[in-house]
Amino acid sequence: MRKWLAITIIVLLFFLSCQNNPPNNNNSITEELNNQSDSSPLDKAPYETDSSTVTVVPEQTEQQNNMNMINASGKTIEERIKPPEEFERIKAEEGSFGYYLRTLPLKPHGSRVNYYDGREKNPDVHEAVIDVVFH
């Protein structure tokens, strides 16, 4: 009898602890933000803006930014792909792996790449094609 009583109590405790509580729809972050109506613009989250202080600054698209870094006449990776503005490429020691990679020959700018089955790859996903033959 004591055994069954113990099992019953354990089962009841299990079911009570697994009881589904209704979700709380009040988001504490949202409540905090709503309560900060008197705060300065610097205290606001990045996605909140004050329409009187919004300044639209045109940004370069990724394609425009990439074009500033590409020298279409470059014959090697080092010549074709320029470092970003305000950066400089460090010297690679001749005979090092970095030197090997930088001096790999490239196919002409705009060369197409094919998949293993002959289909042409989208040209927007690569910037240069290494000129090597695979056997």
Q: Does residue 85 fall inside a structural domain?
A: yes
Considering its fold, how many domains does the chain have in total? 1
One-letter amino acid of 116: Y
pLDDT in tens, 20-64: 555 555 555 555 555 555 555 555 455 545 555 555 555 656 555
Q: Is 1 contained in some domain? A: no
Burial code of 43-59, b = ≥16 C-beta within 10 A, e = fewer?
eeeeeeeeeeeeeeeee
Neighbours of 98 (CB within 10 A): 13
Residue 83 lies in a domain: yes
Residue 88 counted as domain residue? yes
Q: What domain range includes position 105?
A: 73-135
- Kindly report, residue by residue over 70-111, the tens digit of the pLDDT: 999 999 999 999 998 889 999 999 999 999 999 999 999 999
How many of the other CB atoms lie within 10 Å of CB of 128?
19
100 falls within a domain:
yes
Please report whether residue 90 resides in a domain.
yes
Q: Is the pTM above the cut of 0.75? A: no
99 DSSP 8-state letter = H
